[in-house]
Amino acid sequence: MMSMTCHNLDFGFTKTVFDLYACGCSSNASFCRSSVRNYAKSSSSSRKLVDRRRGIALCRVSSTKTPATLLSEVAQGVPPLLDLKKESRCPISLKNLFELVADDLQTLNQNLQSIVGAENPVLMSAAEQIFGAGGKRMRPALVFLVSRATAELAGLMELTMEHRRLAEIIEMIHTASLIHDDVLDDSNMRRGQETVHQMYGTRVAVLAGDFMFAQSSWYLANLENLEVIKLISQVIKDFASGEIKQASSLFDCDLKLEEYLLKSYYKTASLIAASTKGAAVFSGVDSTITQKMYEYGKNLGLAFQVVDDILDFTQSAEQLGKPAGSDLVNGNLTAPVIFALEKEPKLRDIIESEFSEPGSLNEAIELVKSCGGIERAQELAKEKADLAIQNLQCLPESAFRLALEDMVLYNLERID
């Protein structure tokens, strides 16, 4: 059941977050470009310049359901499932989502390489490879979007130094984890390019990852905020716990969905949740809001991981930037496989043989697809996405909150 403790939640208003879905542009749109621009004009000068200069276009279509009906459904446990196919809408792009914080991201990109290369020139080439490999910068973008969305509640006119440093710390930790993941998985490709350990060797890759973890910890300590220090320190611990859980359950066909979700939280959602909560903490909002931002990040992170695991079966190596089916061949069983194993005993035999027979991997992939594993994983991703949307209701309506909602929808569009 959804908690009703959030502030700034006006149930007398004719629309709730459940009514709002991104679209192209409709004559019936009740929350359209002009309202977003007018909101920005009445807000801080920096946000006004962003919306006027970039012409952010965020349109919404409202549902015919009343708030009372929606709340009744929530109380009865009926989730407001997001159905992208029933809504008339244009595809969401990360570029458009991040336009609101483009200047913030540009500054972050300029700082990242200097942070690594300034004290350790030997790692500079590796750093250029790491930060220039086409990453989406989703986590720091979330830091900036939540920072600006929650700053509205705290009366802040601009981001603080702590907000910006947090974004850099989060991206360094994320990148360090990817470098170590590639070493552990012996992956040669990442985002369509050679991995650091493939180009420079395992020694340099491990040192580069270790250095970024250490450097991020040093910057974290200098923020001098005990709550955020504990939060981010737990993330680094979670990374290790996730790797241990994964290594101890390879080719284990008895793996439960709950265990998969816990591992996914450790490896993916923990950092995103810390990103969004940490941003709210530095905005100075109350603990109710910071906890909702944590839950938003957790549910968004879990939804992203499930979608990534679906794409491992539905996209080509060129689209993925790495070999298709790479998790399965390495014995890492994900949501689509767990669901398919419930219906197809033959799949268990193939996995437990560790794909010893020629063509067995392709056969296993086809069984996952034919047994409904993909569809049930899609339902799981939508469930987590619904929860993430609900978590945002405590924020005031703004272009930044809409971007956070659209981030959830963008993720689901990847499997639409």
Q: List Cα–Cα distances, 46 to 17, 43, 55, 157, 184, in angstroms.
A: 26, 8, 14, 8, 44
pLDDT exceeds 90 at position 168 = yes
pLDDT exceeds 70 at position 416 = yes
pLDDT exceeds 50 at position 170 = yes
Please compute the mean of the pLDDT values over residues 288-313 and round it to a whole number. 97
| CB contact at 8 A, 6 and 393 | yes
**Beta strands in 323-367, from DSSP E residues, in sequence order:** none
Please compute the mean of the pLDDT values over residues 335-354 and round it to a whole number. 96
Residue located via tokens 């070493």: 183
Please compute the mean of the pLDDT values over residues 343-350 and round it to a whole number. 96
Question: Cα(375)–Cα(405) distance, rounded to whole angstroms?
Answer: 23
Work out the percent of the chain whose per-residue pLDDT is above 70: 71
H-assigned helices in 315-334:
317-320, 326-329
Q: How many CB atoms lie within 10 A of CB 302?
A: 25
- Least trusted range by pLDDT, from 55-64, 112-121, 213-222, 290-299: 55-64
Q: List Cα–Cα distances, 270 to 95, 251, 332, 398, in angstroms.
A: 24, 24, 19, 26
Q: Over the stretch 354-363, which tens digit does the pLDDT of each residue have?
A: 999 999 999 9
What string of DSSP letters covers 228-275?
A: HHHHHHHHHHHHHHHHHHHHTTTT-TT--HHHHHHHHIIIIIHHHHHH
Please compute the mean of the pLDDT values over residues 271-280 and round it to a whole number. 98
Please compute the mean of the pLDDT values over residues 166-194 and round it to a whole number. 83
Q: Over the stretch 238-252, which tens digit does the pLDDT of each residue have?
A: 999 999 999 999 999
Question: Cα(312)–Cα(336) distance, rounded to whole angstroms?
Answer: 10
| CB contact at 8 A, 77 and 393 | no
| pTM passes above 0.85 | no
pLDDT the model gives residue 206: 87
Closest to 235 in 3D by CA, of 182, 301, 285, 283: 301
Q: Name residue 59's beta-bridge partners.
A: 23
The whole-angstrom distance between residue 36's C-alpha and the CA centroid of its chain comes to: 24
Q: Over the stretch 118-166, which tens digit does the pLDDT of each residue have?
A: 666 666 666 666 666 556 789 999 999 999 999 988 889 899 999 999 9
Half-sphere exposure of 81 (CA within 13 A, CB side): 11
Q: How many CB atoms lie within 10 A of CB 314?
A: 15
- Least trusted range by pLDDT, from 46-60, 114-128, 259-273, 296-310: 46-60
| CB contact at 8 A, 3 and 295 | no
| CB contact at 8 A, 136 and 414 | no
Closest to 232 in 3D by CA, of 240, 244, 219, 220: 220
Question: Cα(108)–Cα(61) distance, rounded to whole angstroms?
Answer: 34
- Least trusted range by pLDDT, from 59-68, 164-173, 187-196: 59-68
The DSSP letter of residue 90 is P
The DSSP letter of residue 189 is E
**Widest pairwise Cα distance in the chain:** 66
Question: Cα(349)–Cα(372) distance, rounded to whole angstroms?
Answer: 18
Q: How many CB atoms lie within 10 A of CB 362?
A: 12
Question: Cα(112)–Cα(94) distance, rounded to whole angstroms?
Answer: 20
pLDDT exceeds 70 at position 272 = yes
Closest to 378 in 3D by CA, of 334, 333, 318: 334
pLDDT exceeds 50 at position 23 = no
| CB contact at 8 A, 303 and 408 | yes
Q: Over the stretch 361-396, which tens digit does the pLDDT of each residue have?
A: 999 999 999 999 999 999 999 999 999 999 999 999
Closest to 133 in 3D by CA, of 181, 182, 188, 195: 195
Q: How many CB atoms lie within 10 A of CB 178?
A: 19
pLDDT exceeds 60 at position 213 = yes
For the chain, what is the mean pLDDT? 79
pLDDT the model gives residue 89: 61
- Least trusted range by pLDDT, from 58-67, 78-87, 170-179, 244-253: 58-67
Residue 168: strand, helix, or coil: helix
Residue 331: strand, helix, or coil: coil
